[in-house]
Amino acid sequence: MVFWLRHSLSCAFGILAVISGAALADEPKATPEQERFFEEKVRPVLATKCWECHGTKKQESGLRLDSRASILKGGDSGKPAALAGDADKSLMIEALHHRGDVQMPPETKLPEGEIAAITDWVKQGLPWPAGSASASLALTAVQRAAADRQSHWAYQPVSPPAVPANVGGYHTNGPLDAFVAAKLQAAKLTQSPEADRRTLLRRLSFDLIGLPATSEEVMAFEQDAAPDAYERQVDRLLASPQLGARWGRHWLDVARYADTRGYAFQKDRRYPYAYTYRDYVIDSMNRDLPYDQFIREQLAADQLQLGDNKKPLAALGFLTTGRRFNNRNDDIDDQIDAVTRGILGLTVACARCHDHKFDAIPAEDYYSLYGVFASIEEPNELPLIAQPQESEAFQAFEAELNKRRTTMNDFIAAKHRETIDKSRQQTADYLARIAAGDRNVLLEKLTFLSLDPKDLRQPLVDRWKKFLAERTTNNEHALWGLWQELLALKDTDFAAEAPKVIERFAQRPEGVEKGQFNPLLKAAITAEQPATRMDVPRIYGKLLVATLGPWKDAGSNDEAINKLDAAQQQLARVLVAKESPTDLPATDTRNFLNRADRNQLDGLQKKVQEFEASSPVAPPRAMVVYDKKQLYDPKVFIRGNQARPGKPVPRQFLLVMNSAEQRQPFKQGSGRKELADALVSPSNPLTARVLVNRVWMNHFGEPIVNTPSDFGIRTEAPPLQNALDWLAAELPTHGWSMKDLHRQIVTSAAYRQQSNDRADAHQIDPENRLLWRMNRRRLEWEPLRDNLLAVSGRLDLAIHGKSVELTKAPFPRRRSVYGSLDRQDVPNLFRVFDIASPDSSSPRRPRTTVPQQALFLMNSPFVVEQAQALAQRPEVTAAENNSDKIQSLYRLVFGRAADDEERKIAEQFLSSTPPAGEGVKLNPLEQLAQLLLLTNEFTYVD
């Protein structure tokens, strides 16, 4: 047993196997969340640690670990490697933890994160995504992309389908209803009647602005006999400044917005200016910013013509307010995931370690996008987007902030100069590193962890590599031609061949032009003949460093170079001219620091960030990104391992969205603007469909496509695809107006139906996929809390501004969208009410019904406070008797009067309930107010 288990967990990096093991008959179907967890956390561990020895090509001890069935079957021992759902009794988990005699892998224990992922997977029951080997997996990426473009419904061009004509007997308000009616007709289903006006206005108000309709608004609507009464209510709500708060929150779920970065070592976890992104989103929804422009600004606002208005720079918070992983590769992965799942509905991040298992997204495409986001950086000082209000408090803030920034910037400047000087003095060492060729890349990438300032810096090695590669394309260069020829010699031939090469170069005319020989190099190389290849970088380095003296004597600036003779100028420019390997931008200083210096810099930055985050007078700034001066040229990381760079790839858009002939590399800097243009291009079939599906979901409670962030080939064409495509085709023709999209949906007959269940229809379409009725929905956390404040008369409707703490007394009255969200410490209350996780882009919120939700409404001090305020509203206190007080409460809470039975029950309650006293916080009227806030009618929308 020990033998096979030891081998099963100690495999070296292997080739990703195509799964061929048959699933057990009772194998559970993996949920989308489990599939994502498996593909991101479990599969990479199995693929790199196990499958080489226990996959399709090789089965040590009769054991395979490339399917759920084979894991449960086990190897020659006859015992399973893992027990589904029981990690504590699974041999694999015991071995991974190195408990007892069995220690897997035997050489080095796996990282705790990988062990935790495998443990969680076993506890989940070993869910294995459906879809075994298929012929398409053997195709090339180009062939698969072409096949998918031709066959998959979501990849077809968006065009308006023909509107059904034969839907007599169904009430339709336009083409959208005709598509819904045609599906109902085919299924022999009828529509539900239109909801009453109070229900319609309550539904419409919560959907569009997230707030309840008042009793006055309901009464006015009920009494409005004009044929366009409903449409005017729609227009009124679409024009409300509260629209942005409701629909901005929906987008913030997709954008994985939060006010903190998550766990941060030696840094302040807070984002002092995250709120400016939230304000931008809310303002964009209110202004009806065209969706295509909305996307362009979120990816590349800094590259657009903004004029004097710099507020759109805050849009770049889409890229910068996500979770930070203290690992740039994971940060980039998060950005790729947010862009591709959030806007395109494609799970591109699944191709980080290997070609996508299902969709035609090769790893090359992932790293093409990786190159885009690896070519951007965040500045140390964020740009102002509004002028500060002058005051004594602001002047004091400015003085202290400048003091802290000066300390930080002085440190950066000193380290920048120190790094440049050190790197120039170490020229011979860097040249020797290039001459020696690649060694342990992983260790070199981590040189910043060293406390020794003498260690070479890998970013500088990379700069030298690029510099030399551009100058050694042939041997005609007066300075680097000799370098190229000498380093091309084999070690065994060097002693015999090098003198011949040097003699041939010595015959060239002296000079610095093409085909000549730099006289200073000629003198150095003939005076000290290199005996080995490694003597070449030593001689070159010594010669280059020697020119620093004359350059410094001439003034040590750009003009000083021109004061040198031509031969010295050519040498000096290698080290001191712009674009030389040692011309390091000050903004890149941190990348060249060792661990001790980085920690010191992080501490100084933390002092600045903490002060800005805590100051109420800090003016708004945008969390922007800019393109790096030195763009990143991506390579595929084999198995997702940065230490194993593979094939170079250009920065470009996805292959499945273009033919191989049409696709062109991005040419404008990092490529962010070109990426944004590709996302909203008329030829892109996904962006409009994905948006329409999200908006539809938030109006109807259910999406047309059940996987809002995954339109890949596993997603079947939905029953209402024609409705989806018609709206998606209309979107760009109406200027990408989201308000127009809202209007088309909420004015439809399908939206205006009753929500009552019908047994006959339920039997045919139990999930209501064909929309034979409206879906009844529970209010999410934000509109529920806002509703409590609204009916109590205490809601603050101010828009924009910094985040507030919602869960601590004194409870703020601002709308819930302005609540502070800490990634590392999400309040339990938020989790209870299913708020979207801010750790990644959220396709839709979970929907649970748990006792804690009712207990909150029963016991929360916040709810008690609102019940007391509700009972003290003038409309209630001015009433002369209990009957009138009850009617006032009902109108405030439900927008309607109490019926006779409700009034009688409430009067009996008031007369039989003891007054407030010892152990009783609320008087009878306040208790009645809280009871009304506990009802389904208050917390649900029909």
| pLDDT exceeds 90 at position 47 | no
Our CA dihedral for 827, 831, 835, 836, rounded to 10 degrees, sits at: 100
Query: At a CB cut-off of 8 Å and minimum separation 6, what does 617 contact?
Result: 388, 389, 391, 393, 394, 397
Read off the pLDDT band of 909 (50, 70, 90): very high
**Taking a C-beta distance cutoff of 8 angstroms, is the pair 709, 345 a contact?**
yes
Q: Which amino acid is at 281?
A: V
**Helices of type H across 362-480:** 363-373, 392-425, 427-436, 441-445, 458-471
Q: Are 399 and 405 in contact (CB under 8 A)?
A: no
Q: Answer with the residue of higher pLDDT: 17 or 899.
A: 899
pLDDT band at 48 (very low <50, low <70, confident <90, very high): low
pLDDT at 889: 97
Answer whether 387's CB lies under 8 Å from 619's CB. yes
Element spanning 376, H or E: strand 376-377
Q: What percent of the chain is helix, strand and coil (3-state, nearest 5)?
A: 55, 5, 45
Residue 313 one-letter amino acid: L
pLDDT of 16 above 60: no
Asked, as a colleague might, if the bond just before 838 is cis with ω within 30 of 0, I would say no
What is the mean pLDDT of the segment spanning 247-271?
88
Burial class (CB in 10 A: 0-12, 13-18, 19+), 224: middle
Would you list the DSSP string of 89-137?
G-HHHHHHTT-TT--SSSSSPPPHHHHHHHHHHHHTT----S----GGG
pLDDT for position 391: 87
pLDDT at 444: 45
**Span 127-172, pLDDT tens digits:** 888 753 333 434 667 777 877 887 899 999 999 999 998 888 899 9
Q: Which of 58-62, 318-322, 621-625 has the lowest mean pLDDT?
A: 58-62
Pairing state between β 940-941 and 777-778: antiparallel
In this prediction the pTM is 0.77
* Rounded-to-integer distance, Cα 663 and Cα 923, Å: 71
3-state secondary structure of 920: strand
Q: What average pLDDT does range 759-786 have in this prediction?
A: 96
pLDDT confidence tier of residue 902, bands split at 50, 70 and 90: very high
The pLDDT of residue 247 is 98
pLDDT tens digit string along 456-481?
888 888 889 889 988 888 889 999 99
- Residue 446 pLDDT grade (very low, low, confident, very high; cuts 50, 70, 90): very low
* Burial category of 539 from C-beta neighbours within 10 Å (exposed 0-12, middle 13-18, buried 19 and up): buried
Beta strand pairing status for 626-627 and 376-377? antiparallel
The structure tokens listed for 324 are: 């930070």
* 97 or 113: which leads in pLDDT: 97
Looking at residue 452, what is its pLDDT? 55
Select the more confidently predicted residue: 588 or 425. 425
Question: Which pLDDT belongs to residue 11?
Answer: 36
d(CA 789, CA 810): 14
What letter does residue 529 receive in the DSSP assignment?
-
Confidence band for 26, pLDDT divided at 50, 70 and 90: low
* Exposure string for 615-654, b = 16+ CB within 10 A, e = fewer: beebbbbbbbbbbbebbbebbbbbbbbeeeeeeebbbbbb
pLDDT of 650-696, one tens digit each? 999 999 988 767 889 999 999 999 999 999 999 999 999 999 999 99
Question: pLDDT tens for residues 722-755?
Answer: 999 999 999 999 999 999 999 999 999 999 999 9
- Indicate if the pLDDT at residue 331 is higher than 70: yes
**C-alpha of 774 from chain center:** 32
Using one digit for the tens of pLDDT, what is the confidence trace for 186-218? Answer: 999 999 999 999 999 999 999 999 999 999 999
Q: Which of 130-144, 394-408, 772-786, 914-928 has the lowest mean pLDDT?
A: 130-144
Q: One-letter amino acid identity for 682?
A: P
Using an 8 Å Cβ cutoff, are 82 and 95 in contact? no
Average model confidence (pLDDT) for the chain?
88
Which of 705, 639, 664, 752 is closest to 172 using CA atoms?
Answer: 752
Confidence of residue 82 (pLDDT cuts 50, 70, 90): confident
**pLDDT at position 267:** 65
The C-alpha angle 303, 307, 309, rounded to 5 degrees, equals 100
Percent of the chain with pLDDT over 70: 91
Amino acid at 786: D
Dihedral over Cα of 661, 666, 667, 668: its sign? positive
Q: What is the pLDDT of residues 498-543, one digit of tens each?
A: 999 999 999 999 999 999 999 999 999 999 999 999 999 999 999 9
- Sign of the alpha-carbon torsion through 688, 694, 698, 701: positive
Task: For residue range 266-311, list pLDDT tens digits in order.
Answer: 566 889 999 999 999 999 999 999 999 999 999 999 999 998 899 9
Q: What number is the average pLDDT over the span 594-611?
A: 86
- Is the pLDDT at 381 greater than 90? The verdict is no
Residue 698: predicted pLDDT: 97
Q: Quote the percentage of the chain above a pLDDT of 90.
A: 65
SS3 call for 308 = coil
Ranking 295-299, 585-589, 891-895 by mean pLDDT, the lowest is 585-589
- From the list 206, 220, 140, 39, the residue with the least C-alpha distance to 939 is 206
Please answer whether residues 782 and 249 qualify as being in contact, where contact means their C-beta atoms are separated by less than 8 angstroms. Answer: yes
